[in-house]
Amino acid sequence: MSARLDGALAVVTAGTAGIGRAIVLRLAAEGADVIATGTSEERAAALRAEGGGAVRTLVGDGSTLEHLAELTRAVGEDGRAVDVLVLNAGRDVEATPIVDTTPEMFDHVSDLNFRGTFLTARSIVPAMADGGRIVLVSSIAGHNGGPGHSVYNATKAAVRSLARTLTAELADRRIRANAVSPGPIATAGFDRFTGGSAAIEQAVAAQIPVGRIGRPEEVASAVLFLATAESSFIAGAELVVDGGMTQA
Catalytic residues: 152
Contact 181, 241 (CB under 8 A): yes
Q: What is the DSSP letter of 241?
A: E
Contact 183, 245 (CB under 8 A): yes
Q: Please state at what angle helix 117-124 crosses helix 65-78, rounded to 10 degrees.
A: 30
Contact 57, 36 (CB under 8 A): yes
Q: Residue 139's closest CA among 248, 85, 219, 227?
A: 219
- Calpha distance 203→212 (Å, rounded): 10
The 3-state DSSP class for residue 26 equals helix
The 3-state DSSP class for residue 49 equals helix
Alpha-helix residue ranges (DSSP H) falling in the chain = 18-29, 41-51, 65-78, 103-110, 117-124, 141-144, 150-169, 188-194, 198-205, 216-226
